[in-house]
Structure 1
């Protein structure tokens, strides 16, 4: 088992080493000397990955469920560790905790940052942060669509038949589905970058923000995030593509193939869009009732920041942490909802909420008519008891993990709002928290190193859907 896992991790490290040469070229072209740091980091990463490939190569690489769990967790840990090397050795002189925090935040598409001075930072480092998010976004799409359904994580087995339908109608093999998904992801990123250039961004900023947007990551090249631009067209473009990144990537293939029928089959999409529209209107009217802002200004700020929070992107056009307790409560709820399964968005995800509410409705109906055979349905699929149990267990693990890590974070000195919102955004991979310490008007640089390590754990747990990590601590996993 370990030979196969270490061999594949070696391959991933070699791919990571190759990507480090891209920011090296950016720095070299701009005359910044940090290009040598990226080349050295690439060499060390490639040497380690190559050594693992040679040491653990096997003529037959077969990944079963047990190897899948270990490979999923191990690969994210390895890429996070080696991805932090350029930040450690760069001119920023980051501590180990800060460098790993920034890297994990990038790869998990969280968007929480410890860095300031982004407006004058070396372009290679800015590009590396954005590239980490883009890599993490496409990585979690592939894992969520193909690995998690097979591993039966949190009800994700529901989408095994969805992938089969896609494979029959769009592409005949699993690797072709993966390739199609990556092509769609890249095409949307390219389209976003072009649109941002058209509405006034520089090409460099447009590329970086496009990668962060489709990854629903939220890293910006500016300290003030999107508020730096004060541009309605830029905000509108980002709203559209943030929402696009939070939809299932295979949905676009279904849309091309099946047209309107894709909307009826993919029940997540209308539910997500309805939730988004409702939340935007709710925050808009809250802003109107609690501030002197007019309707259109309130709608503009609400539309951008609500979309950013619900899609778990993490951009901000203003400090929405100052909008009052009503906005805080709604934003915290949106953080726990998240986007669609099979997208780059994190958190609990829309489909689990749908299954939970429908199973709750069936429970009430069975109490009224105990002899009736009532089965909860998701679209045209019957949801069996095992799947409902899987979703409920996921909810329990998610809330329990949030409570435990929030308590540990409060022990480091943070207040309740900062701790609870920081862990919520870390697990949901949503970016800034709430309050004066970790809110959208500041960053995570001021918190202690133990708090940063706890949030790194929370980010990885949230990105890997909890079960993938927790199962590694069972003694039965390591037997036989």
Structure 2
């Protein structure tokens, strides 16, 4: 009896904090309505955002005020996972309503588009040439919120230690400050600053204000939704591409690394394993694409170089913008792009994928294992890796956990690619598309479309959800809820 009473108290807190996330998500859905100042002719469409946004915000506010504990409580990682999973499911579900009511998508298409937006994937079944300004801005806005992380947004509103379980559950355990709430506010300040500078820079580079706002939102969130069918290729502008590359790189940096960079702590940035990995992979892969693909496809060397660099950065950062199509690329080009999409961006960033820190840790562990074989048996060694200003010694348990995650990630990638191929798509198309799906990248070679099979869209939606929240969070959250379901006494 005492256990059930304690469980009831814990779930009051869980539903209360979930309500806070839902309240903020509701405000996110309402935010695009500000565009009516500039596009009053779309006023008749406003109810498609107003009703779900206002309803979600009011219900969330009520849950927060009525159920959240008056004094902040510490959340365990499983409890944080429950909140994160519940919040994302609710946000994605309510986010379908504008796509159904305004854009006239089917339920499956709306679920897919909403999942793609909140998870910052950028794969789309919306015809942007027929979409209203409200829908286009709505897509970019939910990417912006999803990139910051609903948990991170919530941290800025929570006091005390309660937020630590949330940030850990979203895979963002690195803090900019010792206090979780202050750390959340610093993240949002950095994020907002990036976005504002990005809007101005894209406008100066040649975009109109509406395009600049949408593409800055999508670039910093590494989301990739574009207002144009040809994405960044629509402008065919070196200036626009250069600004977008910088924004994508800032999006793929962990917020800790970005903070160190802006505060002038360059030594800590340079010895960061993720930065070293990026410094190796981007030039190397761009050179491979240049020599193996783009030189023979595009009319000038300048265009070939631009394409090689841009497509490398957009794949590794998991943003999903593109300047060209991939239909005329050879298999070597796809072979370079798929691992980039699987590896993904920095840990604690807006990017998806396995994450560069995990790849770097496995590399360090491999080097350490080889060296240990050559040392005397009595020698005591331990691998290490720098992350931010901290030098982390890598225990066997840590390495094993990362190895299991990578194995699980590749297993899901294999299953998803196999299901895609089972629908009749070529194997290389299936591998490319599901790497983009699971890595929350958004690059497509035509598999994702409004007329794609319903089952395939659901498989992709599940892949985007798992890829964004990271498998262990989803599994832990669901298992915790199942375990906590009261069993009737016979």
Same fold (TM over 0.5): yes
Q: Does 2:410 correspond to 1:403? A: no
Cα gap change, 1:292 to 1:51, in 2 (>3 Å):
closer
**Which residue in 2 is equivalent to 1:219?**
225
* TM-score, structure 2 normalization: 0.87
**1:473–1:192 Cα change, 3 Å:** closer
Shift of 1:272: 1.4
Residue 34 of structure 1, CA deviation: 0.7
Q: 1:93 to 1:477 in 2, by over 3 A?
A: closer
Task: Within 5 Å, give how 1:240-389 maps onto structure 2.
Answer: 240-287=246-293, 290-291=296-297, 293-369=299-375, 371=377, 372-379=379-386, 380-389=391-400
**Which aligned runs of 4 or more in structure 1 are off by greater than 6 angstroms?**
none
Give 1:140 shift. Answer: 6.5
Judge conservation of contact 1:406–1:423 (CA < 8 Å) in 2.
Answer: yes
The unaligned stretches of length 5 or more in structure 1 are none
| Mapped pair 1:80 → 2:92 | yes
Aligned match for 1:6, one of 15, 21, 28? 15
CA contact (8 A) 1:14 1:49 kept: yes
**1:36-115 equivalent positions in 2, closer than 5 A:** 36-53=47-64, 56-62=67-73, 63-90=75-102, 92-115=103-126
Per-residue deviation at 1:217?
A: 0.5
1:471 pairs with 2:476 = yes
Residue in 2 that maps onto 1:415: 426
Pick which of 350-359 and 374-383 moved more. Answer: 374-383
Query: Considering only aligned residues, what root-mean-square deviation do their CA atoms show, in Å?
Result: 2.5
1:124: which partner in 2? 134
Q: Deviations over 1:69-97 (max 9, x none)?
A: 1111111111111112111111x211111
- Trace 1:198-209 onto structure 2 (pairs within 5 A): 198-209=204-215
CA-to-aligned-CA distance 1:176-234 (integer Å, 9 cap, x gap)? 11111111111111111101111111111101100000001100011111111121111
Shift of 1:465: 1.2
Instruction: Give the Cα–Cα distance (whole angstroms) in 1 for the partners of residues 408 and 194 of structure 2.
Output: 33
Q: CA separation in 1, counterparts of 2:266 and 2:107?
A: 50
TM-score, reference length from structure 1? 0.89
Measured after TM superposition, the shift of residue 289 of structure 1 is 5.5
Question: Which residue pairs with 2:30 in the alignment?
Answer: 21
Q: Is there any run of 5+ residues in structure 2 with no aligned partner, and where?
A: 1-9, 156-162
> Which has the larger displacement, 403-412 or 180-189?
403-412
**Which residue number in structure 1 is paired with residue 3 of structure 2?**
none
Aligned partners of 1:140 and 1:344 also within 8 Å: no
Structure-to-structure mapping, 1:148-163, within 5 angstroms: 150=168, 163=175
Match of 1:381, SS state, is: strand
Compute the displacement of 1:60 (Å): 4.1
Which whole-Å CA distance do the structure 1 matches of 2:168 and 2:149 have between them? 16
CA distance in 2, matches of 1:302, 1:476: 46
Cα distance in 1 for partners of 2:37, 2:260 equals 42
For the structure 1 residues 322 and 147, does the alpha-carbon distance in structure 2 shift closer, same or farther, using more than 3 Å as the test? farther
Secondary structure of 2:149's counterpart equals helix
Name the counterpart of 2:160: none
Distance 1:78 1:275, change over 3 A: same
The answer to whether the Cα contact below 8 Å between 1:23 and 1:35 also exists between their aligned partners in 2 is: no
CA distance in 2, matches of 1:181, 1:383: 26
Instruction: Give the secondary structure class of the aligned counterpart of 2:449.
Output: coil
Partner of 2:465: 460
- CA spacing shift, 1:199–1:472, aligned 2, 3 Å: closer
Count residues with an aligned counterpart: 460
Change (3 A) 1:9 1:148: closer
| Counterparts of 1:187 and 1:103, CA distance in 2 | 26
| Contact 1:14/1:45 (8 A) holds in 2 | yes
Is the 1:272–1:340 Cα contact (8 Å) retained in structure 2?
no
CA contact (8 A) 1:321 1:328 kept: no
Contact 2:383–2:393 at 8 Å: present in 1 too? yes
Whether the 8 Å contact between 2:26 and 2:52 is mirrored in structure 1 is: yes
Q: Which moved more, 1:40-49 or 1:374-383?
A: 40-49
Residue by residue over 1:295-346, the C-alpha shift from the partner in whole angstroms, topping out at 9 and shown as x without a partner, is 2221011111111111100111110342110001000011111111111111
Are the counterparts in 2 of residues 10 and 53 from structure 1 also a CA contact under 8 Å? yes
Shift of 1:284: 1.0
Q: Is the 8 Å Cα contact of residues 110 and 430 (structure 1) preserved in structure 2?
A: yes
Q: Distance in 1 between matches of 2:364 and 2:64?
A: 47
User: Which moves more between the two structures, 350-359 or 408-417?
Assistant: 408-417
How far the C-alpha of 1:292 sits from its partner, in A, is 6.0
Contact 1:216 1:311 in 2 (8 A): yes
- The answer to whether residue 195 in structure 2 is matched with residue 189 in structure 1 is yes
